[in-house]
Amino acid sequence: MSATTAGETAKPAATVPAYRTDLDGLRGIAIALVACFHVWFGRVSGGVDVFLTLSGYFFIGSLVRHTIHSQSLNIGLGETVNPWPRLKRLLRRLLPALYTVLIAVGILTVLAMTQTRWQNIGREIVASALYYQNYYLAQNSQDYLAASSANSPLQHLWSMSMQGQFFVGALVVLLAIAGLIKLLGRRFEVLTRAGVIRAIFAAVIGAVALASFAWAQHRLSVDQPFNYYDTLSRLWEPLVGGLLAIWLPTWRVSTRVRSAVTVIALLLIATCGWWIDGVAQYPAALAWVPVGATLLVIWSGQVSPDQAQPGANRVLASDRAVWLGSLSYSLYLIHWPLLIFYLTWRGVDQAGFLEGTAILAVSLGLSWLMKRYVEDPMRGGGRSSMAHVHWRSHPRVTYTAALTIVLVLASAGTAGAIKAWDRHMATVHVDTANLDPALYPGARALLEGAPVPALDPQPTPLAVAEDLPQTGPDGFMSDFAATTPAVGVYGDPNGAKTIAVAGGSHAEMWIGALDAIGKQNGFRVVTYLKMGCPLTAEATPTRLEGTPYPECRTWVDAVMADLLRTRPDAVFTNSTRPDPAGPADHVPEGYLGVFAELTEAGIPVVGIRDIPWPHGERGAIDTPACLAAGGNAQSCGTERASALHPVDPADAVAAANPLFHALDLTDGICTADFCPAVVGNIIVYKDYHHLSATYVRTLTRELSRQLAAALPWAGPEVHN
């Protein structure tokens, strides 16, 4: 689109650019990269960033041209600001295919997934249908990494939600600006000029894009998992595409140079997935690689009427590339859930070359069917004769009308089923506080040789995921964003002695046993707990997935200052963690710094060895899901030697520091060589690496015994 001088009056024919089939081809390249990287390489390709930039280019360009037309053609204010015509087109273009996929995912979830996953996938269906899936994933910390059978089949729809939010937001804001220009244009003639209108939109869009980019760059080092999904951080990508639509320079550059620019841009788009870790770096500065490359392709292919389009752009406009681009929306919707359901069905975490090829081929076929029989008819019928098919007995019932009715009814049924399942899950109470110890001995089966009658384990696999420590519901587990501790009090609130429990969820999970021990032995238990944040002296803590976690550093500093000020009689925290350099466990260097600082201040430290994290040949094991899928205590369990050293690594710290006491309860979780998923008729884990609260209670007596050996004032062992 060529720039218009400030003094000319815009004409409809002049302001509508020629249709760019090469950009359809670019869509085809982008979706091919997205699908192939998902299926085979487990990386982010940059293809989504191409889609976002193109969306902004087309959508904002259309809105700006609409504003110019409203001035030049003297269109009324109501027609100028009315969002419904464009919104209706958006809904007809986006919703039918999306809802078809969501309905299919709902059905396949019931058929192929364990019941432990139904509730979360159901909620993701709702989040995707209402276009807030990106924030649902951000809040639940689901990282967009390599596909596996444990991934959500709807995880990829975060980008659809982000684009939907962008479309609606841009529509409302830019039409409001158009209406303001229309009103003021009656008094100020300069506002009727196309160049001035473009300048106003460019100033507003440019300012928002700059703020969005600055926010994305700032949040990169603050909370990257949330930043990746955040619409406010992603907004600059479609907006810079819109800026190019407002002002697309038409410098007289030779066709060869333009073709070379396109080739270089395509190489950047095709390869950036290999040399940029998109999950860790997008949408901050490095996202300019796919975004900037897309802008270059748009620019290089926009030529004057007397110029030939560059050869590289003509290749993008070839029939095959354009055909693939026409399937890009359906293919994006379909390929990921098909991959996840296949991996779940096969019980593997990665597709081989032949399997991946078959998945892509089936995805292409289903995408063609989706476009032919769902997308095209619902977009208005002009592109598909199916829209005009009539049934002889009911000549007024068209295919489009019938399809609409089917989609509405199926969507309503899916939503009703999700609601019914949520209601059912609300009745699945975790009430295991008073289990008969003779029937459900739990850890006592390992520690004391208690007999184990043949009974189904408790809590059930469906209920154990909610078998949580009381600190969470009580509001004393600080979230990822918190930087100041929320202190809870358990045990005997009036006790003369105090144990401070400090760290992340692996310290928190012992609170049920410590609360009982404190009550029976007359000491207070105060809690300093934060999600994913162990008590560490590490200068730059990271989350479990490896992203920076500066809030943890700030929080730990505040906790340490409070501990040194209040001087509890002991600090209870984790002493080990799985060793990232190899099998078994180790004492992280950051933990040693905390132990030294506390004990040098005269405060005893009780370091409890971390539990084995369930895993097998295929990687991490979600114990409830494994059991729900038909697994048992053995098949869902872990070889002890792969998770634990023969001797607690913290014993060496205790030998060198008399104020450090090492506690090791792993013999209450594992036999000499194996860590079962079910012990003493109780499910051991509530997820991938946390003990169920019910199982922790069965470890109370052993924890009390070891605690009393370390701290004689902690009292005798608890009898329960």
Q: What is the pLDDT of residue 14?
A: 39
Mapped onto helix, strand or coil, the DSSP state of residue 39 is helix
What whole-number distance in Å separates Cα of residue 108 and Cα of residue 153? 10
Q: What is the pLDDT of residue 8?
A: 35
| pLDDT(126) > 90 | yes
Q: Kindly state the average pLDDT of the residues 44-54.
A: 94
Q: Kindly state the average pLDDT of the residues 115-126.
A: 89
Q: What is the pLDDT of residue 6?
A: 32
R_g of the chain, CA atoms, integer Å: 30
Burial class (CB in 10 A: 0-12, 13-18, 19+), 569: middle
Please say whether the beta carbons of 666 and 695 come within 8 A.
no
Please say whether the beta carbons of 538 and 590 come within 8 A.
yes
pLDDT one-digit tens code per residue, 480-489: 888 999 999 9
| pLDDT(27) > 50 | yes
Name, in order, each residue with C-beta under 8 angstroms of 710's C-beta and a sequence gap of 6 or more: 604, 606, 661, 663
DSSP code of 486? Answer: -
Tokens 């395509």 map to which residue?
266
What spatial distance separates the first Cα and last Cα of the chain, rounded to whole Å?
79
pLDDT one-digit tens code per residue, 629-640: 888 999 999 999
Mapped onto helix, strand or coil, the DSSP state of residue 714 is helix
* Positive or negative torsion for Cα 466, 471, 473, 478: negative
pLDDT one-digit tens code per residue, 291-339: 999 999 999 988 777 677 888 999 999 999 999 999 999 999 999 999 9
User: What does the DSSP assignment read for 304-373?
Assistant: -TTSPPPHHHHHHTSHHHHHHHHTHHHHHHHHHHHHHHHHHHHT-SS--HHHHHHHHHHHHHHHHHHIII
> For domain 467-714, which architecture applies?
3-Layer(aba) Sandwich (3.40)
Q: What is Dmax (Cα atoms) for the chain?
A: 94
> Would you tell me how many other CB atoms lie within 10 Å of the CB of residue 401?
14
| pLDDT(679) > 80 | yes
pLDDT one-digit tens code per residue, 619-677: 889 999 899 888 899 999 999 999 999 999 999 999 999 999 999 999 999 999 999 99
What whole-number distance in Å separates Cα of residue 104 and Cα of residue 671? 44
* 465: nearest Cα among 502, 425, 505: 425
**Backbone phi, then psi, for 545, in 5-degree steps?**
-85, 0
> Which two structure tokens, joined as six digits, stand for 93?
């273009």
Q: What is the pLDDT of residue 72?
A: 73
What whole-number distance in Å separates Cα of residue 459 and Cα of residue 442? 11
Query: For residue 619, what are the β-bridge partners?
Result: 616
Instruction: Give me the residue spans of the domains in the chain.
Output: 27-345+353-391, 467-714
